[in-house]
């Protein structure tokens, strides 16, 4: 009998001292684990949207982040995609600045 897949559910977003967050049930993916990550998202039946601080935040917030040498983005509240059911999977830093991953169950037509 196949192991039952535990579907990830929304969890409270408790950001660390740098404003980063990782959902407690989100596996740790390393850079280069793109295929593993995609497989997990498909297995979970999730739709994923990535929101970048650089294009999402008001200019003064983006400037504040990119002009400081601090890896801190706790003052950024990532914009939620349109529609219902979105929850935060992660807020993490990338080479292009902080990104928020929003996920929701794929809506079956």
Residue 77's pLDDT is 96
**Domains in the chain: how many in total?**
1
Residue range 74-84: average pLDDT? 95
Q: Which of the two residues, 6 and 91, has the higher pLDDT score?
A: 91
Residue range 56-71: average pLDDT? 91
Whether 41 has a pLDDT exceeding 60, the answer reads yes
Whether 81 has a pLDDT exceeding 90, the answer reads yes
**How far is Cα 51 from Cα 73, in angstroms, rounded to an integer?**
13
Answer yes or no: are the C-beta atoms of 49 and 56 closer than 8 Å.
no
* 1 inside domain: no
* 17 inside domain: no
pTM for this predicted structure? 0.89
**Domain membership of residue 59 as a residue range:** 47-109
Answer yes or no: are the C-beta atoms of 53 and 91 closer than 8 Å.
no
């Amino acid at each position: 009998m196949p192991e039952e897949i535990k579907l990830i559910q929304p969890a409270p977003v408790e950001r660390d001292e740098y404003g980063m967050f990782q959902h407690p049930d989100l596996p740790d993916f390393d850079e280069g684990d793109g295929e593993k990550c995609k497989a997990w998202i498909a297995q979970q039946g999730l739709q994923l949207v990535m929101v970048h601080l650089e294009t999402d935040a008001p200019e003064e917030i983006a400037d504040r982040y990119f002009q400081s040498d601090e890896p801190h983005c706790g003052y950024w509240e990532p914009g939620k995609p349109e529609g219902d059911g979105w929850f935060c999977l992660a807020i993490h830093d990338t080479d292009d600045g902080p990104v928020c991953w929003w996920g929701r169950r794929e809506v079956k037509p």
